[in-house]
Amino acid sequence: MADDDEWKKLPTVEKCIHKSWKARVEGYEEAIKEFTKLKNNPGSNEFSKYLGSIKKFVIDTNANAQEKGCEAVLSFLEHGDCAKKAVREVVSGVVAKGLNGKPKTKDTCGKIVLMCVEIEQVVDAREEILEGFKSRQPKVVAAAVNIVTQCLNQFGSKVFPIKPLIQKDLLKPVLEHKDGKVRDEAKALVTEMYRWIGDMLPKLLTTLELKDVMLKELEEEWSKTEKGIPERYTRTEQKKMEEMEEMEEEEGGGDEADGETSKEVEEVEDLDPYDLADPVDILKKLNKDVPDFHAKMVDKSWKIRKEALDALLPLAENTIKIEPSHDFGSVVTPLAKIIAKDTNIVVCQLAAKCLAGIAKGLRKSYGNYAKETIISCLAKYKEKKATVVAILSDCIDSAMDSTQLANVSEHVIESLKDKNPAIRQETTNFCTRIFGRSKANALPKSVMKALCPALKNLLDDSVGPVRDAAAQALGTATKVVGEKFMSEYVADLDAIKKGKVTDAFEKAEVKFPYGAKGPAKTAAPPKAAPPTKAKVESPKKEAPKTETKKGPPGKKPPAKKGGAKKPPKKEASGGKSQAQLDSEEVTEPELTEDQVDDAAAELLTSDIVSGLGNANWKVRLEAVQNFSSKLDGMDGKANVQALIQLLNRKPGFKDNNAQVLGEKFKIAEKTSTKAKFNKRTADYILAGGVEKIGDIKLKGQIFQTFFMIAETISLNFTSANVFEYASKQKSPKIHIEVLNWLSEALKLFGMKIKLKSHMKYLRTCVESPNAQIRGAAMELIKTLAMYSGGAISSAFSDVSNKNTLSQIEAAVENGKGEKPPPPSRGAKSSGNAEDGGDEEEAEVEEDGGMELEDLIDRKDVSTDLDRACESINSGAWKERVAALESIQNVLNSSQNIKSDLSSDFLAGIKGRLSDNNMAVKLKALAVMNLLGKALGPGTKKHKELMCLLFPLLGDSKKHIQAQVVECLDIWCEHITIRPLLTDENLIAPSTDNNPNLRNALFTWIKDQIVKTKIPPRLPKELNLVVPGLYKSLEDRNPDVRKSAQNCLPYIMAHVGYAGMVSKLESLDQKSKQTVQDLLEKNKEQAEALAPAKPKPKAPVKKAEPAKTPKKEKIPDRDIDTKTFKKSPKPSKVKSMKSPVMSEQEENSEPEAPVKKAPKKGGLGKKPAAAAAGASGKRKKEEDDVESPLKPNDKKSQRFKDENNLKILKWNFKVPREEYNEQLQTLMEPCCSPAFLAKLFHDDFKQHNEALKILIGIIPTHLPEIKQSLDLILKWISLRFFDTNTSVLLNSLDFLSKCFTALVGADYMLVEQEASAFMPYLVTKLGDSKEPVRKSVNGLFNELIYIYAASRIFTFLSDGLKSKNSRQRTGILEQLTKLISERGVSVCQPNPRKAFEYIAEFIGDKDTSVRTAALNCIVAGWNYIGDDVYKMCGRLNNKDMGMLEERVRRSGKRVDTSSKAKES
């Protein structure tokens, strides 16, 4: 036993290497104590004794001893100077034995490596720990990767460089390791790299050739990261920070936040991926992939040239750093030649992209080839396509990075004088970009003296964009080289040109402004910045000086001395509007030091001023108390801002003595009651108060000070800035007290904050790891819920932590059940305002609740939706379903989305809602349901999607109908029924022949009228639904009748009984009596449901007299019904009214005036009484209405002008504005001004009025109509492109009545008249609305009597090219009628070609098109017999079989001779 204890007598060094593990454990423990004692003497020789054996501590064979040994090594590295010599062998031991030990040992090994980095032995530590990546044991690899991640996380990429980590044989194996833990750690490492170098990492990872799945997983992790900030510092950095702290303490205290911020700015600096990447020899790869590259580059075929460039492009673009040792002239020269001379634009674009990639990869080494590239790009700027110009600009900019402007200035000046304006413009833009990123010394005076005159000359260019570009270039140059130099070229310009250059100067963004020491991007040190909303630092003495020195050239520095002594009269908060006071921005200028000193000298003694900055706290306390007593005696005209700026001088509101600070905040509270207290003054106090609000001794006084500021200015300004400053603090106490303060403030002031500006900080507190901060945040949410109800919870819907989310829901539930206390305090400014201060406060309070929708963070998923719907139009229904399921997944993952959806996505959804496959249609319906929920208010932008749901109501299955109704309710929640009525979207479904659709529709309309808040009535367009309602009241289906009867009183409540009765005219006598009885039966219920309360209030409003007498309205309506003196009887004009127009005339409110109109005299009755109450202007208007069309004889001249191309040919797919303008100009001599205004008004209702007038004058003004028929038909063709159904129906009604009149007058259309509208009329054969198609078919029956049938055949045949199957069917049916009635002689250009073309549609995928095509050919067979088969050309067996079968079934042929006699 004695022998066993002999080791206890040994010295510590020998115990540490003893064979007994117990001896080693005791030796390690003694070594730790010894190292700790020597921490103040790191150079002691005692440390050197352990150098030879320190590695054995880590690789101890006994697990318990190894654990203690690692702790000893950590202490050794931490305290000994000589430890740096042992880093390599220690870390190698960690990798060899430590990382597969016990968990505690592993953790200590990680700390050992971190300590090696801290003592600045990064290279040795990194090289050895990276060996662990190659270990065969997965747990060792995982631990090694984890340690590297910790090093990067804690020290940052500057201390622990990333470049050595991105190696293909190092990083790729761990990312693709078969062990899951290793892969997870490797992903964490790559994610940590992304935190430090950001978007340049994906470029660096391209060299690893990772799988797409891996890259996708990494990108998902990257999206959750934030910018990296070092958490730990090396010994050298620690010493520097200590020295800075000592210097600040010697100066009387410093701004810790400033130090931290500046440190962060220093540490977090973007790295250049070019420096991290290894050079790649792309020419070697190119020669290997495309051996004959140079031969292909000069080949005559553009496809072969493109093939060569396609091979080069990925090498040039995807290579970050190109090996510069080769001669690239053999590649650059052909590429530059292609850019300059190649006629194929695709090849030119590829060449420019290749050169841009090579220039970026070579950088300065590209200088030898830059001139050649720039010359070629300048010459190619003649191309006007924006995509080509953008590619050329990227290429020329990349080349310019490798050379100086002096080397290419001659060629640039030549391009500035080029004849082509596009070249001049883009060359000028190129100059602007050069100026914006260059230093002044990179723009020699010799070059600028040659360049500026050329740019100046372009200010007089004949092309506007060139002039603007020149002004921009001169303004940018002024900002870089200085106004003094540029004055020679700008001074003698006229005022307009000089103004443009000045504006460009002020807006120019340059990297190196004139006079600045560094790039403009670099943020100024925080100490130099004034205390604005965006900063958390307190105001500094140096702030105004910094503003003066570094302000933009166009702004004047703050005035000295007397400049701010006399503030504006409205500086007092009581003179500002509530909106100004609620604004979170500080607009008042900061006073200079001289101004503060002047104000202090007037109000305070020199002892007080000097005492405020004394190092002795007792002296400061006495000075502050004297300051307070002086303030009591000051009047309301005292310069409060100057006093608070004086009080804020060091140590200011960061004073370490609580008594002194307490007195200062009392002074701040007193000053807030003074008349000249402004936002700038409040900002100083808020910045200092937030930092000290966590002090229990000062909390109460700071609360009261903040309350007083809120009372003087506004609660919204105070709370928003308090939150902004608090967001930069780290102390939990500050966050807790800030949240508590706002909770208390809301109860005192009421809901007078704008939630949106407060939510970012509140969300941060809600997700804080500190339980007390979360508790305070929940209390604030509870208070907010008292005022805004449960809607506040929607702002936190995307919180990921379920426990936190449940706490939020509980807080909201508790809050919304409580009644908020009445406000006991309020902003003085509101109380003092004489006109509506309370109303303004109410608006602010209301805004707080109304902006809850804005708080929802909506995601932009348009790209994801576009990607998901790629196969939505596939021919295979399963692929369409799969695409819709992908869309569902996107919408399920993003509960709230933005309303910016692409046209491709919308078109895809529209197509699937009308899909023939029921499974696809149901899936599309489910997508619509999700889409409506995700869009929220954004559904208003996509109302046309909702309208496509109405046809789905016609499904006979009840469960599908229920799904459609549910979806309609979701969409209508935000859209409401009102726009559906005003835009006439309910007309077509209400008159549909499907009883199931009308049954569900009228039930839904009734429910929506009940649910919708309607002030006071629904729009008058509701009466357009009445014809469909009457149709349903007599339907054979009892369910349809029941739903229509249930809906009847609700519609009558808004349309009015008289309005409903007026619609009975369209019914036959029997139906009229039936519906009349139902109206009488429901009249009382409708009156009870009518929104009559707001109606009596209308006359009381002051706006009533402004409407002028209603007498003016009465003749207008009278004119509508009895407009023209030439009409034999008013009843005849009335009979010509369009049904839709009569609907618009009828409205419940003006019913009485319409009845009284005849008593007050229509045109021609009691003229003396009418003249007595009408003005001259009124008479003129009536005269205009009476003669809307004027006689003219310019029709033949118009035809000549169109044939000679003096005016635009009336030929378009979609009418452009210039067609509309041309037609208006041509119609001016033909129409009265009032009628012309109706024709070209933006409101569709005016178009309806114009059409009604045209219909009414057909019997009386037919000669005038003939003289202007070509113009009227052109105007009608424009109406075919309108989306309003009533305008379209009225247009067709006019054409029908007009053609009937023309037939009676034996008038034949000329070619110019027919071509003005026939191509567009043909398209309406494919309209989705049955009433429209029916009217168009009727028009073709009349057209045959006023226009050649063969020409009609030609127009119809041209329309067969349409993709609309309904249109193709309608055209083929019309062709069948023509052939049946007029024979095959109408076929153009000849029967053979006509039937051969028609036969192509026998194989159409649409059944109705095939049927119509077969019927058309059968009509021809009736005349020419079996010869029709030869004329049909070569048909496949299937089509020929179908045709023969149809001919066989058609029966006997007609007697062509008798047909000929009849014709």
Predicted local distance difference test score (pLDDT) of residue 350? 93
Q: 286: closest CA among 310, 315, 321, 307?
A: 315
Instruction: Give the span between the Cα atoms of 21 and 9, in whole angstroms.
Output: 16
Band of pLDDT at residue 211, cut at 50, 70 and 90 = confident
**Would you say 1148 and 1059 are in contact if contact means Cβ atoms under 8 Å apart?**
yes
- Residue identified by tokens 């000069």 is 298
* Angle at CA of residue 944, ends 943 and 945, nearest 5°: 90
Instruction: Fill in the DSSP letter of residue 521.
Output: T
The 10s digit of each residue's pLDDT in 680-706 is 888 888 888 898 888 888 888 888 888
Diameter of the chain measured on Cα atoms: 144
Beta bridge partners of 610: none
Do 412 and 443 touch, CB atoms closer than 8 A? no
Asked if pLDDT for residue 1313 goes beyond 80, the answer is yes
**Which of 135-144, 422-431, 456-465, 561-570 is predicted with the least confidence, judged by mean pLDDT?**
561-570
Residue 1134 has what pLDDT?
32
Query: What's the average model confidence in pLDDT over 583-596?
Result: 73
First to last CA, the chain: 138
Closest CA relative to residue 523, chosen from 881, 891, 749, 264: 264
Q: What is the mean pLDDT of the chain?
A: 78
Task: State how far the alpha carbon of 718 is from the alpha carbons of 542, 710, 748, 812, 1186, in Å.
Answer: 25, 6, 14, 24, 66
Evaluate if residue 567 carries a pLDDT over 50: no
Q: How confident is the model at residue 863 (pLDDT cuts 50, 70, 90)?
A: confident
Give the span between the Cα atoms of 1279 and 1288, in whole angstroms: 6
Distance CA 76, CA 13 (A): 13
**What's the CA dihedral at 453, 458, 461, 466 to 10 degrees?**
180
In this prediction, residue 1016 carries a pLDDT of: 53
pLDDT digits 0-9 by tens, 672-681 = 776 577 888 8
Question: Cα 374 to chain center, whole Å?
Answer: 36
Q: What is the pLDDT of residues 1221-1234, one digit of tens each?
A: 889 889 988 898 88
Crossing angle of helices 679-692/640-647, nearest 10°?
30
Q: Write the pLDDT tens digit of every residue in 461-476.
A: 888 899 999 999 999 9
- Percent residues over pLDDT 90 in the chain: 12
The pTM for the full model equals 0.37
Q: Would you say 786 and 767 are in contact if contact means Cβ atoms under 8 Å apart?
A: no
Contact 23, 7 (CB under 8 A): yes
pLDDT score of 337: 92
Q: How far is CA 891 from the centre of its chain?
A: 18
pLDDT above 80 for 290: yes
Average confidence (pLDDT) over 1241-1250: 88
Task: Looking at 1126-1194, list the stretches that DSSP marks H as alpha helix, in order from N- to C-terminal side.
Answer: 1130-1135, 1139-1145, 1151-1156, 1167-1172, 1176-1186
| Chain centroid to CA 680 | 34
Q: How many CB atoms lie within 10 A of CB 236?
A: 11
602-616 CB burial, b ≥16 within 10 A, e <16: ebbeeebbebbeeee
Whole-number pLDDT of residue 1013: 55
pLDDT tier, 249 (very low <50, low <70, confident <90, very high otherwise):
low
Average pLDDT over residues 840-844: 40
pLDDT for 803 equals 80
The pLDDT-based confidence of 583 (bands split at 50, 70, 90) is: low
CA proximity to 668, closest of 705, 701, 713, 694: 705
- Is residue 314 within 8 A of residue 350, CB to CB? The reply is no
> Could you count the other beta carbons within 10 Å of the beta carbon of residue 441?
8
Worst-scoring range by mean pLDDT, 4-18, 19-33, 227-241, 449-463? Answer: 4-18
pLDDT digits (tens, 9 = 90+) for 1397-1453: 999 999 888 889 999 999 999 998 888 888 888 888 888 888 888 888 888 887 655
> Would you say 40 and 22 are in contact if contact means Cβ atoms under 8 Å apart?
no
Q: Could you say which DSSP state residue 649 is in?
A: S
* Ramachandran sector of residue 1433 (left: φ over 0; alpha: ψ -120 to 50; beta: rest): left
Full 3-state SS string of 289-335 = HCCCHHHHHCCCCHHHHHHHHHHHHHHHHHCCCECCCCCCHHHHHHH
pLDDT of residue 1156 exceeding 50: no
- Which residues partner with 322 through β-bridges? 280
Helix (H, G, I), strand (E, B) or coil at 322: strand
CA–CA–CA angle 1031, 1033, 1038 (5° rounding): 115
What is the spatial distance between Cα 573 and Cα 580, in angstroms, rounded to a whole number?
9
Ranking 97-101, 1114-1118, 1296-1300, 1398-1402 by mean pLDDT, the lowest is 1114-1118
Could you count the other beta carbons within 10 Å of the beta carbon of residue 1183? 11
User: Three-class SS of residue 1413?
Assistant: helix
pLDDT, tens digit (0-9, with 9 covering 90-100), for 1101-1120: 333 333 333 333 333 333 33
Is pLDDT above 70 for 327? yes
pLDDT bucket at 1128, cuts 50 / 70 / 90: very low
Type and span of the H or E element at 815:
helix 802-816
User: Quick one: pLDDT at residue 390?
Assistant: 92
* More confident position, 778 or 938: 778
Q: Say if residue 1137's pLDDT is above 50.
A: no
Question: Using CA atoms, how far apart are residues 1196 and 1199, in angstroms rounded to an integer?
Answer: 5
What's the pLDDT score for residue 992? Answer: 81
For 1189, phi then psi, to 5°, come to -110, 135
At 712, which amino acid appears?
A: T
